[in-house]
Amino acid sequence: MKAKAQRLISVSLAALTIASTLAACQGKSSSGTQNEGTSGSGNTKAHRTLTVEVFDRGKPGQPDLNNNYWTKYVNDNFGKQFNVTVNYVTVPRSQEVDKLNVLMAAGQAPDISYTYNQGVVYNYVQQGGLADLDSALQQYGPTLTKYLGDDVLKYGKFDGKQYAVPGKRTVLASDNTFIRKDWLDKLGLPVPTTPEQFYDTMVAFKEKNPGNVSGVIPYGYALQPANPGLDFIPEAFRPSNLTEEQFATLQPYASWSANWSMPGFDKAVEYMNKMYNAGLVSPNFATDKDGKLRDADISNGKVGAFTTNWDGPYRTAPGTLTNLLKNVPGAQLIPIDPWQNDAGKHPKYGYGPNGMYIIIPKSSKNVDLAIQYLNWMADPKVTLFLQNGQEGVDYNMVNGVPKQTGTTNSGEKMMTVANNLDYDILSNGIELGDPKKNTAAISAGYPGYENEVENALKVALTGYYTTYHYALPNTADAKYNSALTNLSAQMLAKLIVAKPADVDSLYKSLVQQYMDQGGKAVQDEYIKNYKDQNSK
């Protein structure tokens, strides 16, 4: 059924491409310019509507995502300047890839859409579903292109053409493993620094239950189908010395993603299987598709350790640390670094300088307007407002760094994620135009947790590395990405709950299935592209 659905999406995208091409021809004026109401200066003669994707994170108390303080600011400023109404189309964060695929196939994707999944973008490029942005950027995006620069823009180029506008990531840290320090202290245990010590600590948490809770969960884990993996555990089992081919297949994937071709990944699976069979892992991990059950268990004081976004506990959504402290006064969470490899190092995957991939469907009649919107957003004054609000009301500037006053934690001003990045889509992280100020401002964005956040960022960047940038698109990945992602989730679920004696043989048979269903083709093309790119 999934393969059939993929074929339907591919056919729909192809039809969408043809239809949009015809519409473009019909919509041209006598001068050959599409969207007749637009002048070269950017001012519009006829009113238009621009649709923009926005993540729905399901935060309790969140405002109408298409009618709030931030959307009003956009329409009162950009909207009036360009005679435009900006409408926001909500997409559930935990289902963003599936939802976007449906919208793209139906020709209903917002003029400005986005995803963090490079494979999804590859697929749209291969299907001819995205607008070529080179000419629009040249004509309408001078501020935008200057802000991003070539080092960021290159992540949106495929086959030499600009099909995506990458957001600029100012915080390169990805994840952290956190542990209940108050539990360690109660048992007189040190902070674990190796996988073996971590396992023993989890056993102690289960047997001695220092939190005195019903249904203690030493290690909180959720297998999320959109991006299945084993957290940072594979870092401990991946050999420190890799061959060129092993390096090439490692690079496209974050270390916490399923990577069946990497040496040592089988050992990481065995480690998680051992933990599960010892009763150390969330029993409902396979059905916790969005991580909400895990977050609830953390908040209720049942979980001893877990891996999440580097700043996850301090975020207002899901608010795990705030809720934990309400339920368990005196609880302490600290980031730890237990995934030591064979060289005694603690490598941690971090993000590249690009954030989300902002794309414009080929079916859009507002390519020029979409780039003008992003160009407007690249203005430092706009960025400052979207990330902080009004000075003197929502924040105060202290030594060049905005200090939040708390007004954006609730009501129509509520930010459902730090720095309001669901609306300020160009900046994945605080952006003040100065790296030092950015760093100083990061911790200030988490009122009450400034010191904890500063320490978490330091831990997350220890041993930092990022993946190799492939300028050549992987056509096999574009073809098989969705099906292989779904298959990986199923494989991990089966392997984690299997009897320990069966893991080795089951692993081999499932990986063979994975390779036969496209994994080998994807792997081989990455190796080929890596060699071709470096030969040039």
Other residues' Cβ atoms within 10 Å of the Cβ of residue 160 = 8
Residue type (1 letter), 98 = D
**Distance, CA of 190 to CA of 202 (rounded, Å):** 12
Tell me the Ramachandran region of residue 468: left when phi exceeds 0, alpha when psi lies from -120 to 50, beta otherwise: beta
Same-domain status, 440 and 293: no
Residue 454 lies in a domain: no
Same-domain status, 372 and 403: no
Given a cut of 90, is residue 533 above it in pLDDT? no
**Distance, CA of 404 to CA of 397 (rounded, Å):** 9
Residue 459 lies in a domain: no
Which residues contact residue 26 at a Cβ distance below 8 angstroms, ignoring those fewer than 6 apart? none
**Distance, CA of 62 to CA of 510 (rounded, Å):** 42
**Distance, CA of 79 to CA of 385 (rounded, Å):** 16
Same-domain status, 99 and 166: yes
Dig out the tokens for 519 from the structure.
Answer: 């994994």
**Distance, CA of 42 to CA of 375 (rounded, Å):** 11
> What is the structure's pLDDT at 344?
96
Asked whether the beta carbons of 159 and 148 are under 8 A apart, the reply is no
Closest CA to 251 of 474, 496, 509: 474
Q: Quickly list H helices, 163-225.
A: 181-187, 195-208
Given a cut of 50, is residue 6 above it in pLDDT? no
Task: Categorize the per-residue pLDDT at 234 as very low, low, confident or very high, splitting at 50, 70 and 90.
Answer: very high
**Distance, CA of 453 to CA of 113 (rounded, Å):** 30
CATH, residue 120? 3.40.190.10
Dig out the tokens for 431 from the structure.
Answer: 């952006």
Q: Which burial class, exposed, middle or buried, applies to 246 when counting CB atoms under 10 A from its CB (0-12, 13-18, 19+)? A: middle
515 vs 242, more confident? 515
**Distance, CA of 277 to CA of 325 (rounded, Å):** 30
Residue 418 lies in a domain: yes
Residue 457 lies in a domain: no
Same-domain status, 192 and 284: yes
Asked whether the beta carbons of 271 and 233 are under 8 A apart, the reply is yes
Same-domain status, 144 and 288: no
Same-domain status, 440 and 503: no
pLDDT digits (tens, 9 = 90+) for 25-49: 333 332 333 333 343 444 546 999 9
- CA–centroid distance for 512 within its chain: 29
Rounded to two decimals, the pTM is 0.72
Q: Report how many domains make up the chain.
A: 3
211 vs 3, more confident? 211
Residue type (1 letter), 503 = V
> What is the structure's pLDDT at 478?
81
Strands 464-465, 348-349: pairing kind: parallel
Closest CA to 141 of 353, 378, 364: 378
Given a cut of 80, is residue 250 above it in pLDDT? no
Residue 218 lies in a domain: yes
Range of the domain at 486: 175-349+467-535
- CA–centroid distance for 526 within its chain: 22
Same-domain status, 19 and 125: yes
Tell me the Ramachandran region of residue 487: left when phi exceeds 0, alpha when psi lies from -120 to 50, beta otherwise: alpha
| Entry field: residues in the chain | 536
Same-domain status, 51 and 98: yes
DSSP code string of 142-186: HHHHHHHHHHHHGGGEETTEE--EEEEES----EEEEEEHHHHHH
pLDDT digits (tens, 9 = 90+) for 199-223: 999 999 999 999 999 999 999 999 9
Residue 120 lies in a domain: yes
Same-domain status, 18 and 40: yes
Q: How far apart are the first and last CA of the chain?
A: 41
Residue found by looking up tokens 């009897």 in the block: 499
Dig out the tokens for 330 from the structure.
Answer: 């005196």
Strand partners of residue 396: 403
Same-domain status, 195 and 48: no
DSSP code string of 103-143: HHHTT---SBEEES-HHHHHHHHHHT-B---HHHHHHH-HH
> What is the structure's pLDDT at 2?
37
pLDDT digits (tens, 9 = 90+) for 157-186: 988 899 999 999 888 999 999 999 999 999
Same-domain status, 444 and 405: yes
Same-domain status, 240 and 330: yes
**Distance, CA of 51 to CA of 71 (rounded, Å):** 12
Residue 47 lies in a domain: yes
Residue 458 lies in a domain: no
> What is the structure's pLDDT at 338?
98
**Distance, CA of 7 to CA of 13 (rounded, Å):** 10
Dig out the tokens for 295 from the structure.
Answer: 């977050």
Residue type (1 letter), 5 = A
> What is the structure's pLDDT at 22?
34
